[in-house]
């Protein structure tokens, strides 16, 4: 099934969305918000599935057209946002551009940062930045949402805690990153609010494209209407989601509604293009000695989407414009 | 006024607590949880204050004795936990011990890390660690809780967003920190769930000890019944809370219920003792060439408390025992 949080209140209003993303129906009778549904997933999910099945069968009295512009983030605020960097071609390239080797440990020890989760952006919310000189960039990713995960969970058991999947734009302020990371405590100002796809989907919606650890479809990013990259999210992901969850839960439980991100999707095959501007700039620099593609400016438009084998949008599109704060 | 979240459900049950920490009364008629109260602080606070005043005047029909052992964290799960390192004597000492200089920028650019907030520990919850060899340590801190903070807020305006104060035990796994920080993305596994004091208090409860930016009382830490340190939280705090909030909000809004921590309280006057074991170990190493005080082992007891000028506990005590996971 597919779920969305329509804008309303601090936590949105949970809706079940039709598979073709054309119609939706309020799920308030089951759970007012997605967080409430995740808090009691085992009891809520069957009722949500029944509602989804009824919606597919035909018109429901309270259904409305589904409009991604009315969507908040599936979790407009979340308790945990753990974002990995699981595509090592991206990590290696970042380091190569500055003449550094990627430590061999990165091949067996996942890289994960603690993201801020009190303000999550809906799929059509603007990327609000007070200064274009911050080096505004997008990062297209896949993410999962878990139920309650016990501390020390094994990678074998972690997969069973994945309840939902969605797409992410992990907005990054590139020019704030070097000074911030040099301080040693990781990202803070350099990672402003993250944006998410209109809908989240249960794993069964993905068919064989979801193997329990990786999602095998190209992740398509457009910049100002032009295709920027379409690397396959299932290819070259060094750590599957169960491994990332186990890493995050090594010394702590993870609460229901925990979001775990894949990191910027990237393939070793460079002809697939990139999922962020920084990567293209690094390739330009390595090829020509200078980066040509500028970071985002006010008015620039980013679109992130994943299509199924029939060309239908799975999660709906993230479509954001860069703007000064209102 | 003083507030507490008694254990119950995922988010606790909001109670108003008497000034002497002896009695409390459910506040469910105003707001079921502290997060709900913070989400609508301007409308809830007057009713909570009225309830607090009634509780001080005399017995209420539904009051019960206040028992810190029944307390969850004030926010058992939160949307934002931003922890600073504002006592530079602590920062400088950590670096001195490994022969490094503290960058001069640390004197004007606050150090802040993004903490995980999906599982917060109550004041009497155990410190559960699967391995004693992780280098388990406590860190005694002061923290504030804000209402909604707009992005780019000035330090001048940030102070007005401070609604509540509390104490923190920022549990740290010292032996996991070096490898994790070396990866460049900050803390994750090395910062397991954080613990909080039984009650949160509004700034007016603190009288002249709260100057709007710093809380001027010794923060008393005990280890296995012996006083470990009592540095003054208002002394040597390089950045006040309004500056820390402004730093955290530079590129993003902060949502209601955002927790901002001071970092390990430390004074340049070493006779005041330490608020974590790592600091004492560093002083031992500098003095004698070897650290003698071990990190925490199963069964060790940590107590963190702040007393007012009359010797009364302001926030109640954090009292935790280190245990293997259940």
**Do B78 and B178 fall into the same domain?**
yes
- Taking the mean position of all CA atoms in its chain, how far away is CA A183? 27
Which residues of chain A make contact with B258, given a CB cutoff of 8 A?
118
Whether residues A45 and A116 share a domain: the answer is no
Smallest Cα distance from A195 to chain B, Å: 13
Query: What are the DSSP E strand ranges found in B154-246?
Result: 162-169, 172-173, 195-196, 200-201, 219-223, 226-229
Can you give the pLDDT at residue B98?
67
Q: Are A271 and A89 in contact (CB under 8 A)?
A: no
Q: Given A79, A113, A251, which is nearest B192 (Cβ)? A: A251
- Those of residues 135-154 in A touching chain B at CB distance below 8 A are 151-152
Which pLDDT score, from 0 to 100, does residue A99 have?
A: 73
Q: How far apart are CA B232 and CA B150, in angstroms?
A: 31
Predicted local confidence at residue B104, as pLDDT: 84
B129 and B178 within one domain: yes
What total of structural domains would you count in chain A? 2
The enclosing domain of B236 has a CATH number of 3.90.850.10
Here the ipTM equals 0.97
pLDDT of B103-135, one tens digit each? Answer: 888 889 999 999 999 999 999 999 999 999 999
Q: How far apart are CA B232 and CA B64, in angstroms?
A: 33
What is the pLDDT, as a whole number, of residue A141?
Answer: 98
CA angle (A311, A315, A316) in 5-degree steps: 80
For chain A, give the number of residues: 326
What pLDDT is stored for residue A290 in this prediction? 94
User: Among the listed ranges A289-298, B147-156, B175-184, B306-315, which one has the minimum average pLDDT value?
Assistant: B175-184
Q: Are strands A200-201 and A2-6 parallel, antiparallel or unpaired?
A: antiparallel
Q: Measured between alpha carbons, how far is residue B225 from residues A191, B217, B302 in Å?
A: 42, 20, 8
Q: Which residue do the tokens 């090594």 mark?
A: A250
The pLDDT of residue B120: 98
What share of residues in chain B are helix, strand, coil (percent, to 5)? 25, 25, 45
pLDDT at site A90: 86
| A98 band by pLDDT with thresholds 50, 70 and 90 | low
Question: By percentage, how much of chain B surpasses pLDDT 90?
Answer: 91
Give yes or no: residues B307 and B234 share one domain. Answer: yes
Distance from CA of B310 to the nearest CA of A (A): 38
Which of A11, A37, A118 best tests the B interface by mutation, with the highest count of B CBs <10 A?
A: A118
Top pLDDT among A102 and A6 is at A6
Contacts with B, A 232-261, CB within 8 Å: 247-248, 250-258
Same domain, yes or no, for B264 and B217? yes
Name the residue of chain A whose CA is nearest to B326's CA.
A151
Taking the Cβ of residue B109 and every Cβ of chain A, the question of whether any pair is shorter than 8 Å is answered with yes
Whether residues A157 and A218 share a domain: the answer is: yes
DSSP helix/strand/coil, B209: helix
Domain boundaries, position A25 = 2-66
Computed over every residue of chain B, the mean pLDDT equals: 96
CB contact under 8 A, A106 and B184: no
The answer for B 260-319 residues in CB contact with A (under 8 A) is none
For residue A230 the two structure tokens come to 């379409």
> Does one domain contain both B124 and B59?
no
pLDDT in tens, B200-211: 999 999 999 999
Chain A environment of B191 (Cβ under 8 Å): 114
Q: Do residues A157 and A101 share a domain? A: yes
- Over residues A125-137, the pLDDT tens digits come to 999 999 999 999 9
pLDDT at A91 over 90: no
- pLDDT tens per residue across span A1-16: 999 999 999 999 999 9
Q: Hey, which residues 49-88 in chain B have their CB within 8 Å of chain A?
A: 77-80, 82, 85
- Report pLDDT for B96: 79
CA atoms within 13 A on the CB side of B280: 22
Q: Which percentage of chain B shows pLDDT scores above 70? A: 99
Same structural domain for residues A138 and A198?
yes
When pLDDT is averaged across residues A236-253 and rounded to a whole number, the result is: 98
Provide the shortest C-alpha distance from residue A125 to chain B (in Å): 14
Which pLDDT band holds residue B92 (cuts at 50, 70, 90)?
confident
Q: Considering only CB atoms, which chain B residues are within 8 Å of A10? A: 39, 255-256
Alpha-carbon gap: A311 to the closest alpha carbon of chain B (Å): 36
From A66, A85, A114, the end of a domain falls on A66
Same domain assignment for residues B40 and B80:
no
Is pLDDT at B94 greater than 80 in this prediction? no
Cβ contact B265:B271 at 8 Å: no
Last residue of a domain, one of B40, B66, B92: B66
The average pLDDT across B65-88 equals: 98
Q: Are residues B130 and B243 in the same domain?
A: yes
Three-point CA angle B13, B17, B19, nearest 5° = 165
A36-63 average pLDDT score:
97
Asked if A111 and A146 sit in the same domain, the reply is yes
């Amino acid at each position: 099934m597919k779920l969305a949080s329509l804008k309303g209140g601090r936590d949105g209003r949970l809706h079940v969305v039709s598979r073709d993303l054309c119609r939706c129906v309020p799920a308030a009778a089951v759970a007012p918000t997605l967080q409430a549904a995740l808090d009691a997933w085992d009891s809520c999910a069957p009722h949500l599935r029944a509602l989804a099945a009824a919606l597919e069968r035909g018109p429901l009295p309270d259904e409305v057209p589904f409009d991604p512009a009315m969507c908040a983030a599936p979790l407009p605020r979340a308790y945990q946002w753990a974002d990995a960097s699981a595509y090592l071609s991206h990590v290696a390239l970042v380091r190569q551009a500055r003449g550094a080797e990627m430590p061999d440990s990165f091949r067996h020890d996942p890289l994960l940062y603690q993201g801020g989760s009190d303000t999550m952006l809906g799929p059509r919310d603007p990327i609000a930045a007070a200064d274009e000189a911050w080096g505004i960039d997008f990062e297209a990713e896949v993410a999962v949402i878990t139920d309650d995960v016990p501390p020390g969970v094994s990678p074998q058991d972690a997969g069973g805690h994945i309840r939902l999947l969605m797409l992410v734009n992990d907005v990054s302020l590139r020019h704030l990153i070097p000074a911030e990371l040099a301080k040693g405590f990781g990202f803070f100002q350099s990672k402003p609010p993250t944006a998410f796809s209109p809908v989240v989907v249960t794993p069964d919606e993905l068919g064989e494209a979801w193997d329990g650890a990786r999602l095998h479809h190209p992740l398509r990013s457009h910049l100002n209407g032009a295709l920027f990259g379409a690397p396959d999210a299932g290819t070259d992901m060094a750590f599957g989601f169960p491994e990332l969850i186990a890493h995050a839960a090594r010394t702590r439980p993870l609460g229901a509604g925990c979001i775990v991100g894949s990191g910027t999707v990237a393939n070793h095959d460079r002809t697939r293009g990139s999922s962020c501007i920084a990567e293209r700039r690094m390739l330009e620099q390595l090829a020509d000695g200078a980066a040509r593609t500028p970071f985002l400016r006010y008015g620039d438009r980013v679109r992130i989407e994943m299509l199924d084998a029939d060309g239908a949008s799975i999660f709906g599109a993230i479509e954001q414009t860069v703007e000064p704060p209102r």
